[in-house]
Amino acid sequence: MAAPLLSLQGAALTFGGTPLLEAADLSVGAGERVCLVGRNGSGKSTLLRIAAGLVEADRGLRFLQPDATLRYLPQEPDMSGHETVLGYVEAGLGPADEPYRAHHLLAELGLTGEERPDDLSGGEARRAALARTLAPDPDILLLDEPTNHLDLATIEWLEAELKSRRSALVLISHDRRFLENLSRATVWLDRGQTRRLDRGFGAFEAWRDATYAEEEAERHKLDRKIAAEEHWVRYGVTARRKRNVRRMEALRDLRTERRTARRADGSAALQAAEGGRSGTLVIEAKDVGKSFGDRPIVSGFSLRVHRGDRIGIVGPNGAGKTTLLKLLTGELAPDSGTVRLGQALEVAALDQRRDSLDPNATLAEALTGGSGDSVMVGGTPRHVVGYLKDFLFSPEQIRTPLRVLSGGERGRVMLARALAKPSNLLVLDEPTNDLDLETLDVLEEMLGDYPGTILLISHDRDFLDRVATSVIAPEGSGRWLEYAGGYTDMLAQRGADLVRDTGLTKARAAKASRPERSPAVPEAARRRLSFHQLHALKTLPSRIEALTAEIAKLQARLADPALFGRDPAAFEAASTTLAKKAAELETAETEWLDLEILREEIEA
């Protein structure tokens, strides 16, 4: 077996109390593609910085082949000291590197190089950092969250670019599909130690769950052994003293082992504070238009959003996703057309920008507003420590300044603030940024159980497939079109990916040379019902029938004039259940009617 280009052995590092890294190993050979996974705060970025030679471990060995070239992409690139983006990228080139590579990659990533670093958006800064990292074509690439702030088209371009290179890769990313498409080995950093699986990320989660199950079984065996030894201490027949002393020492060792073992962290317990029921129609937009200068951002856009819809908005950076979201929620007035909001809407919003977080404020102050030790969650006070535990923060962190938190931890703070507000309409702009995979799983489950309506912007393809019931994508010249299903369904219906530089689809560009589809064909004819909608159409009639039968039984029971006098508690319970079933019946009938109307429109 060939010697690795880069290896870490037994890396250990401690900040304060609990060690961050205890015995972390990392090895990457020529052409290997390794993903480094673990929870937020587990030390992934620190381990990558140690591998890059930017941080020195307390102990352990680092080896880099003398002739190997290495480039590291940080989460937050430092562009200070550079007048232009081109100067920043060229500063990363080595003596033997070709200068044209800087110009080529900047053009590929949609930058001219003349931009000033201070004027860049988050996505532009990430693209500039990628150009600086990729331009030298090094032997080893260490990439920390390379997809953060990138649009979907650029993420897919980056995937293709990395696949075409011979460089060894070590990737940290929260984007499941990105990891699945690129990785061939997985290193799991958990409780300060690493485990390696010589398979890609697609096999990781089953392996992780099996590992936790084995640990739990071993812990159960240890507890049973301790219980047996404690029983001997209390009730066993005394043997030779020397033997007893040894057995007592063994019992102390077992107790120490159980006490000092670092257990896996719990999972987040995300739950949105529910507001009252909104009306069936949440948003109705008719022929909405919005332009900035001579550039149309939205043109002739119409949409009906019903209670319970989960609508994703996708497109290249700069296409106008946030503008469209603000138009739909009434935050921005359209130049033409109308937007009508439904009745009794209670909106909770999560902004992708975290400028509203004061970096000098503590974690507790960010949630309580700096007064008291309680957070209002759905109108009910909760102690800030208990609420923070739901978002995987320890009690010791409540006085931690926000500036020292990781990107994922700051993301969880923003989620905690947004979900505390009672709502029946969630507006989420890039909710997945920096979140670890376990927290993403819990967020997806929470959104699946959320009874209200969701509008979200995301560049995470897997997340959109799991959450969205329809996706809105740009067609160019301010036109937007809604597609049933998730991101993969949208691609299947369009027959093309998103184009990075113009926001037009490749299919649209290809069709420019042939006649356009007749405008007489309604948009509904190009749509189809999603799997979830088809399933609902099939199952709702039986659900309605069952609810009707339950309501009839409850009404018959309540019709008994002697019930209240005989059993007031039973009368109260039956009345409450009747009201609940009647509300469920109304919801089911409304949903079935809306789906039937949509089906008829499509079939027409």
pLDDT at 525: 39
DSSP letter (8 states) at residue 109: T
Q: Are residues 56 and 165 in the same domain?
A: yes
Q: How far apart are CA 265 and CA 212, in angstroms?
A: 11
Q: One-letter amino acid identity for 399?
A: R
Q: Can you read off the two tokens belonging to residue 339?
A: 């937007």
The SS3 assignment for 230 reads helix
Euclidean distance between the first and final Cα of the chain, in Å? 65
Q: Are residues 49 and 134 in the same domain?
A: yes
User: Cβ neighbours of residue 400 under 8 Å, at least 6 residues apart?
Assistant: 362, 363
Q: What's 171's domain CATH number?
A: 3.40.50.300
Query: Is 463 inside a domain boundary?
Result: yes
Q: Are residues 463 and 549 in the same domain?
A: no
User: Cβ neighbours of residue 566 under 8 Å, at least 6 residues apart?
Assistant: none
Query: Is 318 inside a domain boundary?
Result: yes
Instruction: Give yes or no for a contact between 456 and 321, defined as CB atoms under 8 angstroms apart.
Output: no
Q: Are residues 520 and 560 in the same domain?
A: no
On the CB side of 398, CA atoms within 13 Å amount to: 18
Instruction: Give yes or no for a contact between 24 and 46, defined as CB atoms under 8 angstroms apart.
Output: no
Q: Which residues of the chain have pLDDT under 50?
A: 237-243, 263, 501-526
Q: How far apart are CA 387 and CA 382, in angstroms?
A: 7
What are the pLDDT digits (tens) for 543-558? 888 888 888 888 888 8
Q: How many CB atoms lie within 10 A of CB 53?
A: 12
The residue among 206, 234, 263 that closes a domain is 206
Q: How far apart are CA 555 and CA 543, in angstroms?
A: 18
The residue among 506, 526, 546 that closes a domain is 526
Q: Are residues 337 and 474 in the same domain?
A: yes
Q: What's 563's domain CATH number?
A: 1.10.287
The SS3 assignment for 209 reads helix
**How many distinct structural domains can be found in the chain?**
3
Query: Is 161 inside a domain boundary?
Result: yes
Helices (H), 479-518: 487-494, 506-510
Q: How far apart are CA 101 and CA 480, in angstroms?
A: 35
- Alpha-carbon distances, residue 571 vs 551, 559, 565 (angstroms): 14, 10, 9
Instruction: Give yes or no for a contact between 141 and 71, defined as CB atoms under 8 angstroms apart.
Output: yes
Query: Is 235 inside a domain boundary?
Result: no
Q: Are residues 514 and 541 in the same domain?
A: no
Instruction: Give yes or no for a contact between 2 and 27, defined as CB atoms under 8 angstroms apart.
Output: no
Q: Are residues 202 and 326 in the same domain?
A: no
Helix axes 152-164, 122-134, angle to 10 degrees: 10
Q: How far apart are CA 303 and CA 284, in angstroms?
A: 6
Q: How many residues would you count in the chain?
A: 604
Cα dihedral value 372, 374, 378, 380, nearest 10: -100
Query: Is 414 inside a domain boundary?
Result: no
Q: Can you read off the two tokens belonging to residue 351?
A: 């902004």
Q: Are residues 17 and 149 in the same domain?
A: yes
The residue among 468, 493, 526 that closes a domain is 526
Q: Are residues 587 and 512 in the same domain?
A: no
Residues 495-514 as b or e (16 or more Cβ within 10 Å = b): eeebbbebbbbeebeeeeee
Q: Can you read off the two tokens belonging to residue 562?
A: 């002697």
Q: How far apart are CA 472 and CA 481, in angstroms?
A: 5
Boundaries of domain holding 78: 6-206
Cα dihedral value 124, 126, 132, 137, nearest 10: -120
Q: How far apart are CA 390 and CA 268, in angstroms?
A: 5
Query: Is 124 inside a domain boundary?
Result: yes
pLDDT at 312: 94
Using alpha carbons, select from 278, 276, 279, 329 the residue that is nearest to residue 303: 329
User: Cβ neighbours of residue 135 under 8 Å, at least 6 residues apart?
Assistant: 89, 92, 93, 97, 101, 102, 105
Q: Can you read off the two tokens belonging to residue 227?
A: 């219980």
pLDDT at 524: 41
Instruction: Give yes or no for a contact between 423 and 348, defined as CB atoms under 8 angstroms apart.
Output: yes
Using alpha carbons, select from 604, 474, 424 the residue that is nearest to residue 526: 604
- Which residue is associated with the tokens 């670092």? 262
**Parallel, antiparallel or unpaired: strands 70-73 and 140-144:** parallel
Query: Is 153 inside a domain boundary?
Result: yes
Instruction: Give yes or no for a contact between 226 and 255, defined as CB atoms under 8 angstroms apart.
Output: yes
Q: Are residues 522 and 575 in the same domain?
A: no
pLDDT at 229: 62
- Which residue is associated with the tokens 């290809």? 510
Q: Are residues 510 and 580 in the same domain?
A: no
Query: Is 233 inside a domain boundary?
Result: no
Q: Can you read off the two tokens belonging to residue 97?
A: 């590197």
Helix axes 531-558, 568-603, angle to 10 degrees: 150
Q: Are residues 481 and 588 in the same domain?
A: no
